[in-house]
Structure 1
Amino acid sequence: MIDPMRVLHFSYDHVDNPWCGGGGAIRTQEIYSRLAARGHRCTIAFGAYPGAHEHESGGLRQLPLGLGATPAISAATYLLSAWRYLLRHGREYDVVVEDFSFFCPILVPLLRRMPSVIQLQLFGSEELLDRFGVLAPVFRTIQRRYPLRYRNAIFLTPTLADRWPDREQRRYFIGMGIPDDYLATPATRGDYLLYLGRLSARAKGLDTLAAACKRLWSQGVDCRVVIAGKGGDERLVRELLTNGPVDGRRVEFTGFVTGEEKLRLLAGCRALLLPSREEGEGLCIIEAAACAKPAIVSDIAELSFVEQNGLGWTFPVGDDEALADRMRDVLTDEASNNRVGEIARAWASRRTWDRQAEAFEAALREIVAGESRGGRDPAVVGCDRHRKRIARHPEASQ
């Protein structure tokens, strides 16, 4: 029998949120469903959206906070409701996890003196912050300074952690994962390239992808693209790719996919496309790797692990001509695709959700024990801690 922990996790996003529903939300559900199965009492407090309701299954409680009328109302009321819930019910938990978002800081270190950790899955780009107009300087300051108020932090990768340099913070590196059955799925030689993720034209680089596709089509290259996902920019993305009615021979929009349909698309594609301008780690990259599929990604720092680990190829972010060249290569060089696919599947075999959940559980136990002692062990913090974790978990060095 394990000693169960009571865990409160604040995350605005949720897998069923029609406005977001990104890879970070999937990761939260995958990890906490496993913690709950091990006997821990876990609550995920997320931002309300139309149709959201409180429910519990297998020890995992899903708690919507705020009013889900519009994205702006949802975010504002979520923040107020989260503060209130923390003040009223914080003592009922052993540890609080805050999934950081610059527009809704939960202020756990200020409102509650208890074991807590901030989790950082994305660094908002300057372009993203500038969209908030007069609030941009405020959000920029929050992003730069607020995460460092925590004694403990969980990052997807060391590359992401470098965005917030700090020698005193206790840091853990726990990335994305994949279901075990992905590794056993036979890979087939598909006739399409796959984009899998949120439909955001700028953040996800779908404007670049559209321009690259049109280059190839104008040159007579037989390039079929499947777009799988949801998001606020769906109409814009459709217009960018088609300039009219969708041509199913060239572009297919599947909508949001999960389960067997998602696995079928991954296993049957020629390669994955992720031309993002901003990312945390890219869950779809790891899922594609598990299906023995290479990836073509932008060369932003957070995705540098793709080329470093031989999982695929990069191109200069925003360069549609370079992306088109990569797409042409992957459509014609089957030998390279197979070689990279084998490397990718071997790499992904170390990244199952079970292993990530075990690492997450161990981190929470260590945080609870350390805070209960009233301090931190200086032998395991800062840069030394960073190096030790990479030594113990080589996949964290990506």
Structure 2
Amino acid sequence: MSDEIEVFLTPTIDGIGAVDWDACARSNVDGRAADPFTTYRFLHALEDSGSVGPGTGWHPQYIAARKDGQVIAVAPMFAKSHSQGEYVFDHSWANAYENAGGRYYPKLQIAVPFTPVTGTRLLAREGFEMIGRAALAEGAVSVAAQNQISSLHITFCSTEDREAGTQMGLMARGGQQFHWRNRGYEVFDDFLADLSSRKRKNIRKERATAQGFGGEIVQFTGDDIRPEHWDAFWNFYQDTGARKWGTPYLTRAFFDHVHETMRNDVLLVLALDAGKPVAGALNFIGSDTLFGRYWGCTEHHPCLHFELCYYQAIDYAIAHDLATVEAGAQGEHKLARGYLPTPTHSLHWIADQGFRRAVAEFVAAEQAAVDEEVEVLTAWGPFRKDARDEDHD
């Protein structure tokens, strides 16, 4: 067998194919994808729906490594003409670089578009983990350098990706999100029992307020999700997207693709008033994690956002023995609702040596602040002290 590894790019995921892509992504564990966002079907839905590609600023340049004719590693890489939809913010880097006369865009981004959830980004077939990750990282840096691209960014990557990247000289950057952890709870009240009395009472009050909005709250997944549910959720998503980003990132067709190929990986929580959806939260289901993604409403009801996005997600995770709920980017309000600060990771390569040193100094100072914030927020979390201590036994 040859020791040579060929790295290649393709502007469509079909240039790699579903079988090889999912073999590298390890897309199925006990019948369900560990990470639904790196599956062929999710990335293909983004591409085929026009959510990425021409006019979006996300131009697919999927990178793959091949050995002896077999694809051994893949990564979702994009040429970016802006820094939107990433959630690891480098706008200040771009401004500084361009104010100094440089050209920051286009840049290369290895990421799942619009999806701030942690997962493996350098995806390798079983048995090829070390050489596969190395080939992808080195290949991506070479593409950037040869094309005089300012930078490469690998965002929301796993700790394994982070370790592999730093060994190859990439710069590590830390962040934090709020995640809920299942401590073997059998029912929601078991979770509440771990909280301080004041937080426990507040959550019970919020749930009672939300559930008394005048209608019913229903969880839908698989074939129970109907086209009219997606029509309603599209309206919710447009409203939220317009307020947060100006223009929603995903197209209406994306949700049709998800229904066609991923409805068993979806938990859609809807608040129904006389059968009409008035609010909803979209989650994706992994083998051990529930990923909260989007929320929206056409009517405001007190505490309904907390119920649909956070408490219903916890209910589902407990009922289905999932270890974690990831509730998306930012939001310190999640802390009072049982979601604790959790480190996130990204990797960066900067072409210009002087700018690289400046960014490294910024990242080091930022990391110290992030570490301190995680420590403080954890100490001020909603859990009883003895319950917190159990996590460190």
Does TM-score exceed 0.5, indicating one fold?
A: no
Bigger RCO (CA 8 Å, 6+ sep): 2
TM-score normalised over the length of structure 2: 0.31
Higher strand proportion (structure 1 or 2): 2
